[in-house]
Chain A
Amino acid sequence: MSSLDQMKRRLRERSELYLLRAAARDLGAGVPGTVAPFSGREGLLWRRLFVPLYRRLPWELKQRAMESLRMTASGWTPPERRPREPWRPPRPS
């Protein structure tokens, strides 16, 4: 495995871990039955830098970045996304 592949694997593994932890912390806060997740000292850069930066970017940009880094699957037919008008609420009568 090339060092680029290793880097991509680590990027995916670490980013998933810290993004999930941050999402769980935010969504679970105050919800009955939940506790605060374990918070270790490791991953300071991921928690303080990567997560807030990632969250600021729009989804389309994140998708494009993942595609250009070749982190999405190739050799597969993506699901059909038929062009369709965005949904709009009915006009008030």
Chain B
Amino acid sequence: MSERLIVIGGGGAGTAAATIAKRVNPDLKVTLFTEFPDIAYSPCGIPFVHGREIDKFENLFLSTVERYIEDGLDMRMETTVTDIDMDRGTLTARNTHEGFDKLVVCTGFVWEKPDVPGANLEGLHYVKDIRAAMLFDEQLDGMKRVAVIGATPLGVEMAGNLGHRGLEVDFIDEGPWVLSEVLDPDVAEPVHESLEKRGVTLRLGTRVEGFAGSGGRVGAVATSAGELPCDAVIVCLHKEPNSALAEAAGVKTGTTGGIIVDERMRTSLPDVWAAGDVVEVPHGLSMLPIRGLTGSHAYAQGRTAAFNAAGRDHVYDPVWIPWGMVAGDYTIGGFSIGETLATAMGVPYVLGKGVGVSRARYYPGATRTHVKLLAEPDTLRLIGGQIHGGEGVKERADFLAFAAKRGATLEDIAWMENIYSPPIGALFEPMAIAAQNGLEEIRKRAAVGAA
């Protein structure tokens, strides 16, 4: 008799785990449980539909439930798993017990809720489910002023897009600049300018103290800088792992609250794997577990869990986290750590900074690209970096993360080969310029030290 694999969760990790396990081992009976009515859409696209950059929510769908059923998956939509019994090898959903031989937990995340009075009022919106987003989008048509709390990546996207839609946006965060947990302060100014051009009022260094309203609906945000009237609040605080179900079944969780997995995405229990926003994985530099990464990380982890659950061996590497996004109209990105995180962690580093152009200077559309590289002081191995400007930020962040993972040094980057073709690449590659500047600075300092 064929084995039964159950996947809990229909996000990026869950759908990858289910579809790929079936593909790798067609004899497996694969069942996917999700509490939502939809699957295979891009939740990351939701802010851009609100901002009218994308026409309609339907464009975010990549596939259909029927397609997965045609591929041989047993799809249990709108079915919440309420209990896992590891001794019996069963789970409970809709008061029915379902047996499994192998289990992949991809229960994702829940948004951190503000721990202040009034947090249960109507009108506080969390961006996650596409149906809720569709309803919220209709409500936005009748609104004039909204508050976005939390200058996280989602917060920046929501604030920028709602500003683009024509709403007055108060963007509130305790930090000294947006994305201050990730982004370095030297990038703050262009990012802030870009958001302000879209009609966003920045309320930084400001704490949310409560929500006020009448008739059970929010009408204002009380902050350390006074009360701000609003028609709705979009809460964009931190992602928290949705690990309670697995934890109750005896799966171990770690210092971040995420499920502990090994490099094969195995949990602490036999025949149970986990992937996506519910797990913690080590950072390649420090080996400290981290979580709440990107959709592409979730997908790759889901694939890894699927390969191993389906009987093929695959190992997932510690992560170097290339990241990038558009803040307002300005593109920012990086990998691993920046100066702020390095300073917070106490990681010693040397810097290489440079500015170049994205294509030949004379070619229409060329933009300035700023690159900052962080390297270990003794070996000069890359340990982090940030990039901002126009085009090519994403590709450079991807490349640098991979280069760092393979142990590349400032010297390697300073002498890297690059494409020179006027419409797509300049003679001098901005990453190489940054590395050359860094080496020059180090040489100067070494010469001063030797003198």
Give A contacts to B, CB under 8 Å.
Answer: 1, 5, 8-9, 11-12, 16, 19-20, 22-28, 31-38, 40, 54-55, 57, 59, 62-63, 66, 71-82, 84, 86-90, 92
B207 touches A40 (CB 8 A): yes
Mark each residue of chain B from 365 to 379: 1 if its CB lies under 8 Å from any CB of chain A, else 0: 000000000000011
B262 touches A24 (CB 8 A): no
Nearest-neighbor residue (CB-CB) of A74 within chain B: B262
Nearest-neighbor residue (CB-CB) of A19 within chain B: B344
A73 touches B174 (CB 8 A): no
Q: Within the assembled complex, what's the spacing in Å between the Cα atoms of A60 and B353?
A: 26
Specify which chain B residues have a CB less than 8 angstroms from the CB of A24 in the assembled complex. Answer: 175-177, 180, 185, 340, 344
CB under 8 Å from chain A, chain B span 319-368: 339-341, 343-348
Specify which chain B residues have a CB less than 8 angstroms from the CB of A62 in the assembled complex. Answer: 345-346
Residues of B in contact (CB 8 Å), total 62
A78 touches B181 (CB 8 A): no
A28 touches B180 (CB 8 A): yes
Q: What are 14 contact pairs spanning A and B, CB under 8 A? A: A20-B340, A24-B176, A32-B189, A35-B204, A38-B205, A59-B347, A71-B288, A72-B282, A75-B266, A79-B284, A79-B407, A88-B446, A89-B446, A89-B447
Specify which chain A residues have a CB less than 8 angstroms from the CB of B247 in the assembled complex. Answer: 1
Q: A73-B289, A87-B379 are in contact. Are A27 and B339 (CB under 8 A)?
A: yes
Q: Within the assembled complex, what's the spacing in Å between the Cα atoms of A31 and B180?
A: 13
B207 touches A38 (CB 8 A): yes
CB under 8 Å from chain A, chain B span 239-268: 247, 253-257, 260-263, 266
B177 touches A28 (CB 8 A): yes
B185 touches A31 (CB 8 A): yes
A37 touches B257 (CB 8 A): no
Specify which chain B residues have a CB less than 8 angstroms from the CB of A25 in the assembled complex. Answer: 176
* Set B181, B262, B411: member contacting A87, Cβ < 8 A: B411
CB under 8 Å from chain A, chain B span 190-218: 191-193, 204-207
Q: A19-B345, A33-B192, A57-B346 are in contact. Are A75 and B263 (CB under 8 A)?
A: yes
* Set A31, A55, A59, A73: member contacting B282, Cβ < 8 A: A73
B318 at the interface (CB under 8 A from A): yes
B281 at the interface (CB under 8 A from A): yes
Interface SS of chain A? loop
Nearest-neighbor residue (CB-CB) of A76 within chain B: B263
A76 touches B282 (CB 8 A): yes
B205 touches A76 (CB 8 A): no
Q: Within the assembled complex, what's the spacing in Å between the Cα atoms of A86 and B256?
A: 34
A89 touches B346 (CB 8 A): no
Specify which chain B residues have a CB less than 8 angstroms from the CB of A23 in the assembled complex. Answer: 340-341, 343-344
* Set A11, A27, A79, A84: member contacting B340, Cβ < 8 A: A27
Specify which chain B residues have a CB less than 8 angstroms from the CB of A57 in the assembled complex. Answer: 346
B222 at the interface (CB under 8 A from A): no
Shortest CB–CB separation between residue A37 and chain B, in angstroms? 4
B343 touches A73 (CB 8 A): no
Shortest CB–CB separation between residue B349 and chain A, in angstroms? 10
Q: A62-B346, A73-B287, A89-B447 are in contact. Are A37 and B174 (CB under 8 A)?
A: yes
